């Protein structure tokens, strides 16, 4: 169902009037984790000012260590909805457990399935039974075929509103957190009709590399970006090293829009 053979034209996912796919440039931005109402509102204002259509933020965080900040759960979801409504931004947030589908769907416009859950087949089937757009991140060590099969799990349950997200894969390199595989964008465009966006934040782990990789992603044909932005990256509870300041986010958006206009 997700293959180019099945459907020749590019799929455009409509998220309550904001489109992802085709010639539309979709940018999702915001903090890694929702930390407080003040933090989120400040981030959302900057996301809007930069011209993005979507506010991202985790309320359930799949952290490597169980002792790290795990997220504000429903309180965080409420803050996301409030900030999204205030600045007219669509809300994207991660769902880590199929039992939370009704809860997360109540507040979010897009359900994010994270890299660590790309092959959580039960979760994939359950989000496939909803009509919410799903942002499906590539697994930490997933091949393109495994990733597209994960999308197929969602589609096979009836939900075709899927957006793929390349977020870097695990390699032998240690300078960057992951190795951002921009060739996956071209591969997915060839193999599938689904929109694909790129996450240069998790893809590199270093804020210095976010702008150049964002530019490259759009030049490579990505339909958009998901970028971590924090009003005070140095005090972020997660992923501060890869988060852009509001100023850097706005500068990045200006660059990205120039490249998108040439595509």
Q: How far is the CB of 244 from Mn ion (least distance, A)?
A: 12
**Which of positions 65-84 make contact with ligand PEP (CB under 6 A)?**
none
Nearer to Mn ion, 68 or 75 (CB): 68
Nearer to Mn ion, 159 or 178 (CB): 178
Residues 6+ apart with CB under 8 A from 102: none
Tokens representing residue 42 in the block:
């400040």
Residue bearing tokens 């009509």: 131
Per-residue contact string for residues 45-74; x = within reach of Mn ion by CB under 5 A: ------------------------------
The answer to whether 239 contacts Mn ion (rule: CB under 5 A) is yes
SS3 78: helix
Q: How far is the CB of 202 from Mn ion (least distance, A)?
A: 6
CB under 5 to 8 A by kind: which of ligand PEP, Mn ion, none does 169 bind? none
**Which of positions 108-147 make contact with ligand PEP (CB under 6 A)?**
114-116, 137
CA-CA distance, 50 to 12, in Å (whole number)?
A: 23
CB 180, CB 198: distance < 8 Å = yes
CB under 5 to 8 A by kind: which of Mn ion, ligand PEP, none does 115 bind? ligand PEP
Q: How far is the CB of 107 from ligand PEP (least distance, A)?
A: 17
The answer to whether 90 contacts ligand PEP (rule: CB under 6 A) is no
Give strand pairing partners of 162. Answer: 134
Among 50, 53, 58, 200, binds ligand PEP (CB under 6 A): 58
CB under 5 to 8 A by kind: which of ligand PEP, Mn ion, none does 137 bind? ligand PEP
Return the number of other C-beta atoms located less than 10 Å from residue 49's C-beta.
13
Calculate the alpha carbon distances from 46 to 49, 238, 250 in Å. Answer: 5, 19, 8
Smallest CA-to-CA distance from 28 within 91, 82, 73 is with: 91
The answer to whether 230 contacts ligand PEP (rule: CB under 6 A) is no
Residues 6+ apart with CB under 8 A from 66: none
Give strand pairing partners of 243. Answer: none
Q: Rule CB under 5 A: which residues touch Mn ion?
A: 32, 239
- Kindly list the residues in this chain that would bind ligand PEP in the complex (CB under 6 A): 32, 58, 62, 114-116, 137, 167, 202
């Amino acid at each position: 169902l997700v293959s180019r053979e099945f459907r020749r034209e590019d799929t455009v996912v409509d998220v309550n009037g904001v489109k992802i796919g085709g010639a539309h440039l979709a940018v999702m931005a915001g903090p890694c984790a929702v930390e407080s109402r003040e933090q989120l509102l400040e981030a959302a204002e900057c996301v809007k000012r930069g011209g993005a259509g979507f506010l991202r933020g985790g309320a359930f965080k799949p952290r490597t260590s169980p002792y790290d900040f795990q997220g504000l759960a429903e309180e965080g979801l409420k803050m996301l909805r409030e900030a999204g409504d205030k600045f007219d931004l669509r809300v994207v947030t991660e769902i880590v457990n199929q039992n939370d589908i009704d809860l997360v769907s109540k507040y979010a416009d897009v359900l994010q399935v994270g890299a660590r859950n790309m092959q959580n087949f039960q979760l994939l089937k359950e989000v496939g039974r909803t009509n919410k757009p799903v942002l499906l991140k590539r697994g930490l060590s997933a091949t393109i075929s495994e990733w597209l099969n994960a999308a197929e799990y969602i589609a096979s349950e009836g939900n075709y509103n899927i957006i793929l997200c390349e977020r870097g894969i695990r390699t032998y390199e240690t300078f960057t957190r992951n190795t951002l595989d921009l060739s996956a964008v071209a591969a997915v465009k060839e193999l599938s009709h689904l929109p694909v966006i790129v996450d240069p934040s998790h893809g590199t782990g270093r804020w210095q590399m976010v702008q150049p990789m964002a530019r490259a992603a759009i030049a490579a044909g990505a339909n958009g970006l998901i970028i971590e932005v924090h009003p005070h990256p140095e005090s972020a509870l997660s992923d501060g090293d890869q988060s852009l300041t509001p100023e850097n986010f706005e500068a990045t958006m200006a660059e990205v829009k120039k490249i998108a206009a040439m595509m």
